[in-house]
Structure 1
């Protein structure tokens, strides 16, 4: 697409175009707007974000909606492995090899519609012949799959303003596709965090055994928001079979050898679970866990409610304390809502909260010295009558990290009981 600007006075103008090599056709848009069409001015600032999909050997393109007529703007994505196009119609001519089946002038939007390869409007491509053209309506993302390792690809987005039928380049990007899952290096005794969505639901951590490793390798796994699969490999062989991890898991490997490498693979169980996940945090250490500043969690991390003690403005909960005689720092918090509505829970070990502090109805902390009690109980007050709450308890060692117990759904009584005199 080329754009020309020239001063003009009121009058009649004639534009002549000559095809130099073969019969073709053009889209023409004339505007008296200062600086040219606003759509082109805004498009110059647009960037396309590329998200790699390692599990499906593809990428997802995302872009911001047009600032000009966003409700009437539609988009088409073009993918090629060798070149880019100056216009959408050039890509369509290269793809379909035909001209619009009319001899009279037509709106550009009509040729776009007539050249779509099917009546379906998918946001994921199904055709492998380049150029790949996918028109996605008002959606601002497009996924293309089955890309080849190490090959260069060019991505373009074209927008059509439904108010004036003007189709224009909206953004572009290029990428050498690398579908390999690159391991994240773990340092001894230092945790690492990975966003599972960013890695398309699969991430690999690599840990190298240091000098004088001791008798055991301990791996702490803390999912953030959803259940995951975890397995551990050494030299391509599985040494810890795939298992489900929901909240907190400690894996112990005996007799690690110096300089040997372990690979910890983490998978989202399914796509629906990936939407709930905020990520995964992992710590590997040949030191004692006390040196890693992580509290040793009890055999069960569930919270329990004592339902007979419910009132209209409080609930009573209990949990098993962390082992040991040291004083532990517990934080109790509650926010209004249903547990299934918590689509993304931040890592407790990362920042110790499920939402922003302002989202809590109640939050307080206290130091509790370990005693002979097998269960710690707490009365959570200042709640509303007949309301549902999500309760969270976190624990922290002195100068250490934060780990969360399981979330608990509770509900207060709808009416307050009258106190008899």
Structure 2
């Protein structure tokens, strides 16, 4: 540290010494007097011990904080400084005081403003100096003479804020969780849209697992060296320059206006601009995580921070980066206009099918009929998703575009079970192959009309004259789940045994409010459970199956 710094420091101590020198001193020790007067007159510049202090810095304006250390102190002291959004410059200087020679007035000290008495004090010494944006810690050795320590902080880029933590109780522990011996983040799996990460757990987390949380920052710019800087990155993308809160991310949900997804204690905050996306994810105490929904062929930077939920202190692992793979060229099956295709999906092997359809007219109608299991249907054009929905029953989607435009249709299983769906794309909307169907496909039973050997049901019809076929099946109560899960809703009446057929009839009504029909099924066994199905059969032979109804006849009549 050069002479200029020492001169600046001496001037600072000079002005501090003025009120001290005006006091009438008795048999009070030098260190006690310094602490007393500094606390009385200059409490605003004393750095508090045992707590994290947020300090705001103006550009090119040096800010100074002081703390005294008593004579014959046996304690080490520790100072941790965390820059937030920009690099800073900071230093620690120590000013040692010597007593008057041979103990003539050893329990007194002279005012710092006294030119003669200043010769009795040792010169200032520079203990530490750092410039950058890393979290830095300095541990000082015990002092055998009374000392005054000066901390100087300077930001030359812009206004910013930092956090400073001072403690002399190193035996108790620290505000910050401990990092493992190898704090690197490893990339275990790399795909075109996801990256899997793993890191060694924090030793602090092994001791107090329920009070430790890991937070991940994902961005396309660079790595961040503190959770404070990570928080600022998230806020800056959203246009907020709010100063960092000491609370961990999981406790700042209400203050963050992002896209949040909560699942199993996991918090995912996503901020987007036109050119960059920043994600902040807190995952509890797990030390493995897969970041999904990434853009192919893009370099991402990954940072992991371990947070002590009791103290709100955090420590940063060594950040890493990875580039996602190129998206594989999709293999499309062509979907012909008007043709119905049935897709069978295996939850373990074939989880999705992709089709390409070229429209013949401006208006196109896509039809999905869920046959079995849970299926999600998606329609995309030029890479943009136009439709994405879980299909239950029959679903028509009409889209308007340009002639000869290409659409991509994706059908995927939502669970690891076998599922099936029928898909059709047609530009001849006025000639649908699927029959028109009512708003509700529910079958209703009338409890008051239920007897020991008969049941009465009702269902909605349409304004078009259509054929409705009614079927029944007796089952045991312990077979209900198996029977319902194996239902193929796309199989028509032709797949049913003749013994299960009740009747078929044509029905329609111009007034939709009166388009209701009823049917009484007789000849049933008392106290028995039946599955009731209604099929709406269209003119080309394609049908719509109503939702299966379970009804039990009475045991006593």
Q: What TM-score, normalized to structure 2? A: 0.38
Q: What TM-score, normalized to structure 1? A: 0.49
Higher relative contact order, chain-length normalized (CA < 8 Å, sep 6+): 1
